[in-house]
Amino acid sequence: MEPRFTIALIYDFDGTLSPGNMQEYDFIPAVGKSNKEFWSEANSLAEEQDADMVLTYMARMIQAAKSKGLSLRREAFQESGRRVTLFRGVGEWFSRINAYGARKGIRILHYINSSGLKEIIEGTEIAHEFRKIYACSFLYDVDGIAYWPAVAVNYTNKTQFIFKINKGVESVFDSKEVNRYIPEQERAVPFRRMIYVGDGTTDIPCMRLVKNFGGHSIAVYNPDQKGARKEMASLIHDNRVNHVCPA
């Protein structure tokens, strides 16, 4: 069946498709720190310097890896991604929903919109399912060694990628095309045909944006985490999301 229209499913990663933070499965243990210690150092640095916490966690990753003599190549981060655990059913989700869409004549595009590290996501078993992974990433020198943030994605600038998807602009670099006026009927994916799936406060601006423009936002929670559902349910009460369900 020829697709009648396109729908974009946009996912956060940590806490949405996978329990916990992606750095905690391999990278943080490899640098000899506890999860609490690593994040405390990164967040304390942000507070001391009045800096963005995403940039300081990326800086701490480089510093910690160098201090332990660990590889900072893209391939090393991708290898860490192979150790990331997914929520039950995530691996099968994409083929199931794609098949459902095909039966209904709907083309479904999947996107990641994450404050996590793109290179780690690229190493996960589901990386090939996504049309585009919007996430933090590093710049690499001529020897392929990460030395500086290339893209830092925090809770507010996550929203820029919603507009890029809306207009079919996949390049992070391209700020000209995404700001060009395009009539609503000519846009790649209208907001009303977007579904945003996220798990926490960093996703609220995106979830609210999609919902306000006629799309649907879904807040998910870890069913094994006590009190998580009650916390997420407040997002419905505050009119920030359409639905709340277990991840």
DSSP string, 17-77: TBSS-GGGTTHHHHTT--HHHHHHHHHHHHHHHT--HHHHHHHHHHHHHHHTT---BHHHH
Q: Cα(169)–Cα(101) distance, rounded to whole angstroms? A: 23
**CB neighbours of residue 212 within 10 Å:** 12
Q: Rounded to an integer, what distance in angstroms lies between the CA atom of residue 28 and that of residue 49?
A: 23
CA distance 145 to 212: 42
- The H or E element containing residue 235 is helix 228-237
Cβ partners under 8 Å of residue 33, min gap 6: 41, 64
pLDDT (tens digit per residue) in 35-81 = 999 999 999 999 999 999 999 999 999 999 999 999 999 999 999 99
CA distance 245 to 241: 11
Buried residues in 97-115 as b, exposed as e (16+ CB within 10 A): ebeebeeeebebbbbbbbb
Correct CATH for 5-246 of 3.90.1170.50, 3.40.50.12780, 3.40.50.1000, 3.30.530.20: 3.40.50.1000
> Do 217 and 162 form a contact (C-beta atoms < 8 A)?
no
Cα angle, residue 42 at apex, residues 37 and 44 outer, rounded to 5°: 90
Closest listed residue to residue 108, CA positions, set 81, 130, 124, 87: 130
Per-residue pLDDT of the chain (247 residues; tens, 9 = 90+): 667 889 999 999 999 999 999 999 999 999 999 999 999 999 999 999 999 999 999 999 999 999 999 999 999 999 999 999 999 999 999 999 999 999 999 999 999 999 999 999 999 999 999 999 999 999 999 999 999 999 999 999 999 999 999 999 999 999 899 999 999 889 999 999 999 999 977 899 999 999 999 999 999 999 888 877 877 777 877 778 888 888 8
Helix/strand/coil percentages in the chain, nearest 5: 45, 20, 35
Structure tokens that stand for 113 in this block: 């919109």
